[in-house]
Chain A
Amino acid sequence: MASTLSMILYFIIFPGLVFTAVAGLMTTWVDRKVSALVQWRVGPPWYQPFADILKLMGKEIVIPEGAKRTGFLVAPLAGLAAVALVSTMLWLASMRGTGFVGDLIGVIYLLTIPSLGMIIGASASGNPLASIGASREMKLILAYELPFVIAIFTAVTKVSPMTLKLDGILEYQAVNGVLLGNLSCIIAFVVAILCAQAKLTYPPFDIPEAETELMDGTHMEYSGPALAVVKVTQAMMLFTLPVFFITIFWGGLQLTGWGILYTIVKYVIIVTIIVLIKNTNPRVRIDQAVRFFWGPVTVLAVIGMILAVLGL
């Protein structure tokens, strides 16, 4: 009973929902501030994301005529729960060495749920522009999921004995040095960062949300607290994906002594790479994105996989 209670607390408070939401919102501030500095602006103050969310909580939810009410409102919550669960799994693997046999498959699966939630929500909203956004999001998932999975399994191949458990990968890295020291894993890391860009729907792959042509696409019909859930989910994804990459490629999160500083440095480096790619690239078309992911990126990922099998 006590362990059930502590699991619930883990999920809701510390590594889960509340902690991830706060950390994710702080990360979106870093994102907005760095974007502003790149454009020679001053940018928003640190409490900006929290003000946005508080404001959205006080607003009205407009449900469009012809929308499927339940699907429209529940879909974003599914995404929120999935990201909170991924974050809990990753932190518990680093903090307490817990995990189960199918860990990694679970993480990859759960990381797709927010996108699926947005597809369902946008399709339920009954808005033509949102449904175009949903169809683009679907194509984007088909495009990036293949190289993403290959990149993650390059790390699995490199670990001996091969394991799908997060704590197994972490133990191997603790003994044999970080996986990022190998050529194959450097290639896999680059591929994973490119896929993260598409997972977060950040430029150059913000095709489903295309502000200028689709007017925020999949998010278009959401307002008030529902929009706040969507925004928090995105912020949590921005926090969770770098943590995931640190866990499988870069030795995991150390939470004692100087390790805390080292962990923060690793995290900030990955976030900065993502934000800089976001700010220096224009949006591509959906066919270009699919061709990019199925062509060069998949080839790169397969090369990394072959190198890993050869033992590099």
Chain B
Amino acid sequence: MGATGWGFKKSLWVFHLNAGACNNCDIEVLDCLTPRFDVERFGIKLVGSVKHADVLLVSGSVPRKVVPDMIETWEQAPKPCAVVALGSCGCTGGIFRDGYNFAGPVDKHIPVDAYIPGCPPRPEAIIGGIVKLIGTL
């Protein structure tokens, strides 16, 4: 499994799941793809379908309505697949933790491998989080 493990570290395809985020984290994810940061240098790219994903990037505070869809998406992702909780909402619930429709942060429903806090996290923080994630794979 050595060769596939090496490939896994060098080529992370990210599927971005918006679980009730305010779109701020999502804009910062797109920033990572711009010429200034260019994560394709490390083989990271955004894919359109969860069936192609190696990393499930979940942003948002996870309202009740989203929970079944989020779990379904996680179950559809081909394993091994890592999960990253993005932003303060994804990590802890942030300012929405007392909301009437708040259904717990991401790790209450699916196993999370890395947390990237911030509101929104800077692109440098996202890249730093991904580097730490690669170290644990």
Binding site for B on A (CB under 8 A): 32, 36, 39-45, 47-48, 50-62, 211-212, 214-216, 219-224, 227
CB pair B7–A58 under 8 Å, yes or no, is: yes
Does B101 sit within 8 A of A, measured CB to CB? no
CB pair A39–B35 under 8 Å, yes or no, is: yes
Within 8 Å by CB of B51, from A48, A212, A214, A227, lies A227
Other than A211-B48, A220-B49, A223-B51, give 9 A-B pairs with Cβ distance below 8 A.
A44-B43, A45-B43, A48-B11, A55-B8, A55-B54, A58-B5, A216-B47, A222-B51, A223-B52
Given contacts A48-B10, A51-B11, contact A220 B51 (CB under 8 A): yes
Binding site for A on B (CB under 8 A): 1, 3-8, 10-11, 35, 38, 40-41, 43, 47-49, 51-52, 54, 76-80
CB pair A52–B51 under 8 Å, yes or no, is: no
Residues of B within 8 A of A52 (CB): 7, 11, 43
CB pair B11–A55 under 8 Å, yes or no, is: yes
CB pair A220–B40 under 8 Å, yes or no, is: no
- Distance of A159 Cα from B81 Cα, bound (Å): 55
CB pair B78–A215 under 8 Å, yes or no, is: no
- Distance of A20 Cα from B11 Cα, bound (Å): 22
CB pair B11–A215 under 8 Å, yes or no, is: no
Within 8 Å by CB of B6, from A32, A51, A56, lies A51
Give the shortest distance, in Å, between B10 (CB) and chain A (any CB): 4
- A49: nearest residue on chain B (CB-CB)? B11
- Distance of A41 Cα from B38 Cα, bound (Å): 6
